Chain A
Amino acid sequence: MELFTNQILAGIATGAIYACMALAVVMIYQAIDHLNFAQGEMAMFSTFFSWQLMQWGIPYWWAFLITLAFSFVGGIAIERLLFRPLAKAPILTNVAGFIALFAIINSVAGLIWDFTIKQYPTPFGSSPFLGSQLISTHQAGMIGVTVLLLILLYFFFQFTRIGLAMRAAASLPESARLVGINTSWMIALGWGMAAAIGSIAGILIAPVVFLEPNMMGGVLIYGFAAAVLGGLTSPFGAVIGGFLVGIFENLAGTYIPGVGNELKLPIALALIITVLVVKPAGLFGRPIVKRV
């Protein structure tokens, strides 16, 4: 029994990482109706940026704020420069663009900061949380920040005009334009916000996994999986999805004999596909009805 609870707690701890990333994924999906493969790399680059600021002597919280602003502007810039020209191109071409962006960011980060791992500070400390040896204060802090972000996003989308405008622009672009929403800038805004959330995710994840250019590769897959499980239209679902993926993966690894440990990721993904077959829009997503 103790092993069971331990694995669940450990799963929640890892799940917090996935939940963070999943929030950024959902954010970009809300804006452009697509998954951005380069999301993880953008988050990694932002984290490196903040690390560099700290190397130059800037204190943690200032570096954090500057990075947030940098990521927001960067996200908008990338959208305006690279993806607006592709707006009329087929979706698959856009996906190719995401892949190209991934390659560029990863390579540039590797050149600037090389591939050795770097320690990344945490404002929450690393001691055991509430005496539990399984969750450190940092991981508890990570969960806390993720939940806080979630609440902020909820308020943004439900109760602010811009939030509403963004949702309108994403689901019904033509109608949104008719009521005067600048759909093009809504997309840019979505990119900016996704980049900013991604940078927060990266800053939270780096202390655990150590900072290096390839750190987000594995995380992104899990982030996608969590977001899809929870429902791509639901930030709340993304966070729950993240925790569920973390827990399930751990339990599968511990209790499925023989292959459980070697096939953790495939089993987690198989679970998600099963859920999707039953509930195509994810656990908390809104079902989408297509008009013929």
Chain B
Amino acid sequence: MLSKQKLRIAAFSTAVIAFAATTGGAFAQKKYDTGATDTEIKIGNIMPYSGPASAYGVIGKTEEAYFKKINAEGGINGRKINFVTYDDGYSPPKAVEQVRKLVESDEVLLVFNSLGTASNSAIQKYLNTKKVPQLFVATGATKWNDPKDFPWTMGWQPSYQSEARIYAKFLMKEKPNAKIAIMYQNDDFGKDYLKGLKDGLGAKASMITAEESYEASEPTIDNHIVKLKATGAEVFISVTTPKFAAQAIKKLAEIEWKPMHIVSNVSTSVGSVIKPAGFENAQGILSAHYAKDGADSQWDNDPGMKKFFAFLEKYYPEGNKLDGSVVYGYGAAQTMVKVLEMCGDNLTRENVMKQAASLKDFAPDTLLPGVKINTSATDFAPIEQLQMMRFKGEKWDLFGDIISGELSN
């Protein structure tokens, strides 16, 4: 009969060996940082659900619904997504408070698709210092593609400057000596565009004969349009958010000014801009896009969009398929899921960034055919391609090739 003590030692040793045997192998396979476990991946997000930019809060809601769908279908590699989203009211100090809450209190693995250049600028240094991924930020500002200085920050949509350059290239080809009038919103969005246009035109920047800025707080921009008509410009570029784009289109028709009208792609949604402004007023407008429009009947039988519509019906019935923001949220969320899938069982923050920087020809359901997401260690701009389109009848007609707006610097 073994003594009690020897029994205990034997039991203990067996336990230790068993433990080592089972986990020894696992240690080599699964790696986690705060926010990821065997069963859960915690994703943080900051959106303006209130305040002046509350129209974009829909993006957060769409993403929430999309992650719900993924969870219902089994999650990512068996792990459920826990999507924690907070409101910053489009105020940078509030964004700082919320991001600290996400990282220090909620302990998320990464911050995904936070919206607004100002808010993202406010939290960029913090997230990079804390080495938390700031992935797929929801703003087109050009500064997010800077892996050398900010290795933890990555954009998603084509930058405003690259889009502007595409228009510049187009204009130099189609209307090489025209007078150009630009109306832009007096914030980072508008100013970034303006820079892109001027850089894109290069030596021919003198084609720009009028630059008119407006504040987002103005009730209507009608008088700016009146002023610009008086300049006799043949090309009119409106760098505006949806509401003002609609006002511009309507006013242009009212005062019977028919320049070549280019609108920035944040305001091309048929449902939220063109229809309210009036289809008959929007004929011939030009823009460029990278994603499909939910209101466009040409995509009714597109397999990707059919998945999108099915998703809306089942998981987000209040979502308005005509709203470009909803399409946007779906695409971004899908990209996030892809990256997490690529991480496998190595859910460290470093690996998340590594996988995000290794996307090759990834095409979410909602991007235009031919537009693909590509990233690398030196290229933190996932989407860089756009296709130009012209409004005809009740929808956008894509034309030309897929153009890359890559900035050469």
Residues of A at the B interface (CB closer than 8 Å) are 2-3, 6-7, 10-11, 13-14, 17, 107, 110, 114-119, 126, 128, 133-134, 136, 205, 208-210, 212-215, 217-219, 221-222, 250, 253-254, 261-262, 264-265
In the complex, what residue of chain B is closest to A136 when comparing beta carbons? B254
- Does A262 lie within 8 Å of B213, measured CB to CB? yes
Complex contacts, A218 vs chain B, CB 8 Å: 217-219
Give bound CA distance, A254 to B250, whole Å. 22
| Interface residue B75 (Cβ < 8 Å from any Cβ of A) | no
- Write the chain A residue with the least CB distance to B52: A214
Contact between chains at A212 and B243 (CB < 8 Å):
yes
- The listed residue with most B CB atoms (<10 A of its CB), out of A17, A116, A126, A128, is A116
CA–CA, A133 to B258, complex, Å?
13
CB pair B243–A210 under 8 Å, yes or no, is yes
Q: Are A117 and B243 in contact (CB under 8 A)?
A: yes
Tell me the bound Cα distance from A264 to B216 in angstroms: 12
Q: Say whether, besides A117-B242, A117-B246, A128-B256, A265 and B219 are in contact (CB < 8 Å).
A: no
In the complex, what residues of A have CB within 8 A of residue B227's CB? 3, 6-7, 253-254
Please give, as numbers and ranges, the residues of chain B lying within 8 Å of A11 by CB-CB distance. Answer: 223
Could you say which of B50, B222, B273, B322 contacts A208, with CB atoms under 8 Å apart?
Answer: B222
Q: Is B52's CB under 8 angstroms from A10's CB?
A: no
Chain B residues in 8 Å Cβ range of A264: 215, 218
B186 touches A262 (CB 8 A): yes
Considering the complex, which residues of chain B in the window 233-275 have a beta carbon less than 8 Å from any beta carbon of chain A?
242-243, 246-247, 250, 254-256, 271-273, 275
Do B230 and A3 have beta carbons less than 8 Å apart?
Answer: yes
Bound-complex Cα distance A6 to B320 (A): 40
Cross-interface CB contact of B247 among A10, A128, A210, cutoff 8 Å: A210
Nearest Cβ on chain A to B242's Cβ, whole angstroms: 6
Residues of B within 8 A of A212 (CB): 55, 243
Closest beta carbon of chain A to B216's beta carbon, Å:
9
By a CB distance below 8 angstroms, the chain A residues around B224 are 253
Q: How far is the CA of A265 from the CA of B215 in the complex (A)?
A: 9
Cβ–Cβ contact B226 & A6, under 8 A? yes
Least CB distance, A274 to chain B, in whole angstroms: 22
Tell me whether B217 and A217 are in contact (CB under 8 A): yes
Interface size class of B (residues with CB under 8 A): 35 or more
Closest residue on chain B to residue A133 by CB atoms = B255
Chain B: which residue is nearest A126 at the CB level? B254
Contacts of B278 in A (CB 8 A): 119
Q: Which residue of B lies closest to A218 (CB)?
A: B219
B215→A215 contact, CB < 8 A: no
Q: Are B222 and A10 in contact (CB under 8 A)?
A: yes
The answer, yes or no, to whether B220 is at the interface (CB within 8 Å) is yes
B219 proximity list for chain A (CB < 8 A): 14, 17, 205, 209, 215, 218-219, 222
- Residues on B with C-beta less than 8 A from A208 are 220, 222, 247
User: In the complex, which of the residues A110, A118, A222 contacts B276, with contact meaning CB atoms closer than 8 Å?
Assistant: A118
Min CB–CB distance A245 → chain B (angstroms): 12
A-B complex: 3 closest residue pairs judged by Cβ atoms: A115-B55, A119-B276, A218-B219
The answer to the question of B57 belonging to the interface, with a C-beta cut-off of 8 Å to chain A, is yes
Q: Tell me if A128 and B243 are in contact (CB < 8 A).
A: no
Q: Is the CB of B272 within 8 A of A116?
A: yes
In the assembled complex, the Cα of A14 lies from the Cα of B256 at a distance in Å of 18
In the complex the two chains form, what is the Cα distance from A292 to B402 in whole Å?
77
B192 close to chain A: CB less than 8 A:
no
- The reply to whether B223 and A7 contact each other, CB–CB distance below 8 Å, is yes
Nearest opposing residue in chain B for A220, CB measure: B219
Q: Are A128 and B254 closer than 8 Å at their CB atoms?
A: yes
In the complex, whether B54 has a CB less than 8 A from a CB of chain A is yes
Q: Quick check: is B353 within 8 A (CB to CB) of the other chain?
A: no
In the complex the two chains form, is A265's CB within 8 Å of B323's CB? no
Complex: A133 Cα to B226 Cα, angstroms: 9
Interface readout for B200-233 with A: 1 if CB under 8 Å, 0 if not?
A: 0000000000001111011110111011001000
